Amino acid sequence: MLKKLLAVLVICASPLLACEVKDDAAYTAAIRKATTETFFSTELVDHLPWSSCVPAPDTYLGHIIGAPDVLDHVEQINGYMRVLARNSPRVRVFSMGRSEEGREMILVAIADEATIQHLDQYRNITARLADPRGLSKSAAESLIQQGKPIYWADGSIHSTESGSPEMLMELAYRLAVEETPLIDTIRKNAIVLLTPVIGTDGRDRFVDTYMYAKRHPEATAYPLTWWGHYVGHDNNRDGITLSLDLSKNVTRTYLNWHATVMHDLHESIPYLYISTGTGPYNAWLDPIVTSEWQQLAYYEVAELTRRGVVGVWTHGFYDGWAPNYMIWAATGHNAIGRFYETFGNRGADTQVRTLQPSDTSREWFRPNPPLAKVNWSARDNINMQQSGVLLGLYNVASHGQEFLRNFYWKSQRAVAKARTEGPAAWVLPADDPRPGDQARLLNVLISQAIEISRANKAFSALVPNVESAAIGGPAKPAGGKKSPESKSEEEKPKDTPATTTESFPAGSYIIRMDQPYSRLADTLLDTQYFSTKDPRPYDDTGWTLGALANVKTVRVMDTSVLNVPMTRLTGAITLPGGVQGTGRTTYLINNNGDSALATFRFHLVSVPMETAEEPFTVDGHKLNRGSFIIANAQRGTIEAAARDSGVTVFATDAKLSVARHSLDAPRIALLHNWTSTQQDGWFRVTLEQLRIPYTYIADTKVRETQNLRGLFDVIIVPPISGGLASMLQGIPMEGAPMPWKNTPETPDFFAPGLDSSDDIRGGLGYSGLASLERFVHDGGLLIAVGESAALPVEGGMTRAVSLRRPQKLVCPGDVLLAHVEDQQSPIAYGYGEKLYVYYSENPVMNISLGFGGGETSESRSSGRGSATDPDVIQGRPYTAPDNTPKRTPRERELYVPEEARAYGSWRIPPANELPRVILRFAESGNLLVSGLLDGASDLAEKPAVVDIPHGQGHVVLFANNPMWRNETSGSYFLLFNAMMNYRHLDVGRGPVKPVNGAGSQAK
Ligand SMILES: [Zn+2]
């Protein structure tokens, strides 16, 4: 192969025009052989030209694209693209950066020679159209006429969807060498960008598993335990916070080129679905893009259908609502993000595939549906994908000026947003009690190229007269009882004015909506309402970032805010941090629930710290319950850690009398299994960003470890689906041992930060469950999130708690309101009365001592009178019914009927082992902040975070997910508090007792 390649390299010293191009008969024959049906191909891709200058893919790879049973690693794919660039003046390759594990992502640019020589000029044109401030209409039109549309197609963000990286190599070659009117039009009138592999780490691991299975058909096939370094399929849900390297690289590259169209290639459903989606579409986007999606999709559907291709359709898949997909690098920046789903085989097998009736039914949007049964090959997939992309390229190249004009209009209308539909701006007040997480949130927006300014002086503006995390309004005081004002606010008359004037201090952050990316800022910060009448959503329905970050964001409609003197930030926000005050004996940090406090604590692992069990005041500083107290430390040490983490520390010599206990930097383990690591991946992302050390430990390792308590203080079990049985069983103990290690056959399985094992079979097993129980019993803290609550609950470590699959609840990824019920618990330190949390149809936690809930019927019996006018039993004097006691949710949960104490006392745990509800979901009417919510009564007033003592230790259960996609920084500190106070979680536990069934508890 190498020899052949060298020969080609020598020959092609001559210019391209002198190259000979003819049909590559052998390659063409191989394509036709690998294509199972002519209706899975078109005249665009059923052959390949041979060029005397540029080596075809088979020359370099040793196989044609779409050959059965073979896939290529990233190094081969990138290597081939660079061969093209070296041998064709129509091709250039740029590096986009690297993945977490160091694999390169590349951008291949293809156009005619003249265009390729002036790429910078074309990039400057799209950049200017992207920010049309100060650009006259005639100047814009002139740029549109000179410009060329840029079409960026990218492969395999999803590692198991493995055909597109192969296809893109052939497409690149074809675009570089083929001479047809269609290809000429594309090369001349557009700039093609290709990224063959988005998820480079996952690509190599998937190819390892696939090729291993090909070489060892007798062995149990490996699961793709890790795709990327952190997450699997969710690498296409990182479009909001850009936490993964691939998202950062893609967004940076987009902003460098302003591609007119970005086109993701996915492989899941038959045979070729072209994105438009069912709606509801994201409501913050310019409606122009909706038309563009349809125009592009219908052109390709029509052109492929006319060529006799079967099963090409649009509309009936995916919604278009959430802004978290990778294509939002384009969509969120006024360009067009779109995608394909072709039929994939998880590899390159040729297989008979049988479809479900739901895939083959004829619908208005699928007049030419897929067939019930076909023989399907990798080459079929390549043919469909490549034909579609070529048609898409041709369409955009043929209407380049229209698409560039649309792009200009969308950019211009985004700048006009402040004064047309509004808001004028979003404001984040400078006096937010949690400046660290405020900065984290703002830095997410900055990484999205959203412009942020700071007010040079204090100002006031009209804001909506409602209290909401998302749209501002007067904030309730944090902590303590409700103030008299807040009470009167609830009772305010209906004619309250719609707006009120709010004052903002100097230094407040202003996100002007007269900027090009105003729509992205608005969609991320606003509240979302997803109607129950709409089609089932495809992903999260709510994401309000301010609410999830527990940071105040104010939606200001008043355009006078645009005239406030302000200074635009030029880079990311870093908080200085440091020590204030001249004291020498004691250092204090107010616990405001800011994530950076945990960074600080773990930075100084060996420095003893304490935490206050009550609020207190020192030297005029008011400190919340849970504030950090550090005595006898070196000022220099504290100062360095404070600067490093951006935390403000007060030094004092005052003598403190507040009750306190030690604040630990515990040894943390994060549990994973060997089948799916995605959920723990998001925990790893956040813990590593905040530099909180942990040990990544496998279920199989837990099974083999007798004394977990000797190794760890806290074990976190992120959501693991499948229930207790599946956790215990893991990968069944069948066949031969399955080592997870790097070998010559599987060189990409392991990377630092991942895990390895001699055998990944066997799950937790009963001995693993016993090890975990012993761990808690001996004083450890087990934190279980979402579905993983089944492990301690159904594994018998908790009393009086059960899990229930809600029957009516529809809550697919929402932002919900929760109340902090037990402010004395260390888990709630630093929090106020309420918190907005992320929840998505996890099991609902139920607490009951087993005597019924003591719930009273909310409706009366049928009878005389009205709902409130009491019934009268006939034939006897009227007696008022018993005053049915009205019980709080907690009282109902701990209810014991009087008579049951005689026969059922064994069921009642001692008071110090009763479940303690720290956080509780709000009442039905107040529960929803953002998203789709139906059947709210299934969840309303149910526990969200529960602490249950067990032996010397504790189990803490989360129904909400406190570490969801790096978006929920407002909830992180619930976890951190639990960890740092793991030895003192009983602090503040009130005299809680089971609730007697007699009427004495009536309120
Ligand atoms: Zn996909």
pLDDT tens figures, 782-837? 999 999 999 999 999 999 999 999 999 999 999 999 999 999 999 999 999 999 99
Say how far apart CA 699 and CA 726 lie, in whole Å. Answer: 11
Taking residues 176-197, report their average pLDDT. Answer: 98
Q: What is the mean pLDDT of residues 495-506?
A: 87
Read off the pLDDT of each residue in 662-687 and give the average, rounded to a whole number.
98
Determine phi and psi for 678, rounding to 5 degrees: -60, -45
pLDDT at 851: 84
CA 266 to ligand 1 centroid distance, Å: 4
Ligand 1 mean position, distance from CA 93 (Å): 25
Contact predicate 970/548, CB 8 Å: yes
Give pLDDT, residue 543.
98
Question: Which of 601, 682, 693, 683 is CA-nearest to residue 645?
Answer: 601
Which residue bears the tokens 């083959």? Answer: 360
**pLDDT band at residue 8 using 50, 70 and 90 as cut-offs:** very low
CA of 538 to the centre of ligand 1 (A): 13
Distance 105 CA to ligand 1 centre (A): 18
Position 584 scores a pLDDT of 93
Distance from the CA of 339 to the center of ligand 1, in angstroms? 9
10 Å Cβ neighbour count for 938?
18
Tokens of 11: 């020959």
- Mean per-residue pLDDT over the chain, rounded: 93
Q: Is the pLDDT of residue 1000 over 60?
A: no
CA 340–ligand 1 middle distance (angstroms): 9
Residue 252 sits at φ, ψ, to 5 deg, of -60, -45
- How close is the Cα of 344 to the center of ligand 1, in Å? 10
pLDDT of residue 990: 80
What pLDDT, on a 0 to 100 scale, did the predictor assign at position 15? 52
Which residues, chain by chain, have CB under 5 Å from ion ligand 1? 158, 161, 266
Q: Where are the beta strands (DSSP E) in 609-682?
A: 609-612, 616-618, 621-623, 628-631, 648-652, 660-663, 668-672
Interval between CA 262 and ligand 1 midpoint (Å):
15
- DSSP sequence for 40-78: G--TTTS--EEESSS--HHHHHSS-TT-TT----HHHHH
Ligand 1 center–CA 370 separation, angstroms: 19
What whole-number percentage of the chain has pLDDT above 90? 86
**In the structure encoding, which two tokens stand for residue 774, read together?**
């012993």
More confident residue, 774 or 468: 774
Confidence of residue 485 (pLDDT cuts 50, 70, 90): very low
Cα(48) to centroid of ligand 1, in Å? Answer: 28
- Between 894 and 17, name the one with better pLDDT: 894
Distance 764 CA to ligand 1 centre (A): 30
Rounded distance, CA 499 to CA 93, Å? 54
Distance 175 CA to ligand 1 centre (A): 25
Q: What is the mean pLDDT of residues 992-1000?
A: 63
Other CB atoms within 10 A of residue 932 CB: 23
| Whether the predicted pLDDT of 477 surpasses 50 | no
CA of residue 341 to ligand 1 center, whole Å: 7
pLDDT at 869: 81
Give yes or no for residue 700 having a pLDDT over 60. yes
Q: Which of these, 331, 415, 345, lies nearest to 380 by C-alpha position? A: 345
Structure tokens at 501: 């004037």
Both tokens assigned to 243 = 């936490």
Outline where DSSP puts E strands in 539-596. Answer: 554-556, 566-568, 578-580, 586-589
Per the listing, tokens 């909830």 go with: 971
In the reported structure, the alpha carbon of residue 591 is separated from the centroid of ligand 1 by a whole-number distance in angstroms of 42
Residue 378 has pLDDT above 90, yes or no: yes
- Res 9: pLDDT: 41
For residue 803, the cross-strand partners are 845
Give me the pLDDT at residue 755, please: 98
Plot region of 334 (φ>0 → left; ψ -120 to 50 → alpha; else → beta): left
- In this prediction, residue 855 has a pLDDT band, given cuts at 50, 70 and 90, of low
- Mean pLDDT value of segment 947-951: 97
Ligand 1 centre and the CA of 324: distance in Å? 14
The DSSP 8-state label assigned to residue 773 in this structure reads H
Q: For residue 99, which phi and psi values (nearest 5 degrees)?
A: -80, 175
Q: How far is the CA of 225 from the centre of ligand 1 (A)?
A: 17
Question: pLDDT tens for residues 880-930?
Answer: 776 667 788 888 898 888 888 788 888 888 888 899 999 999 999 999 999
pLDDT of residue 998: 53
* pLDDT at site 478: 34
Q: Which amino acid is at 741?
A: K
| Locus of tokens 């592009």 | 296
Kindly state the average pLDDT of the residues 332-352. Answer: 96
Compute, in angstroms, the gap from residue 222 CA to the centroid of ligand 1.
20
Closest CA to 819 of 945, 987, 967: 945
Is the pLDDT reported for residue 10 higher than 60? no
Q: What is the mean pLDDT of residues 217-233?
A: 97
Tens-digit pLDDT profile for residues 722-767? 999 999 999 999 999 999 999 999 999 999 999 999 999 999 999 9
Q: Collapse the DSSP code of 348 into the 3-class scheme (helix H, G, I; strand E, B; otherwise coil) and give the result.
A: coil
Assign 488 a pLDDT band (cuts: 50, 70, 90).
Answer: very low
Q: How far is the CA of 725 from the centre of ligand 1 (A)?
A: 29
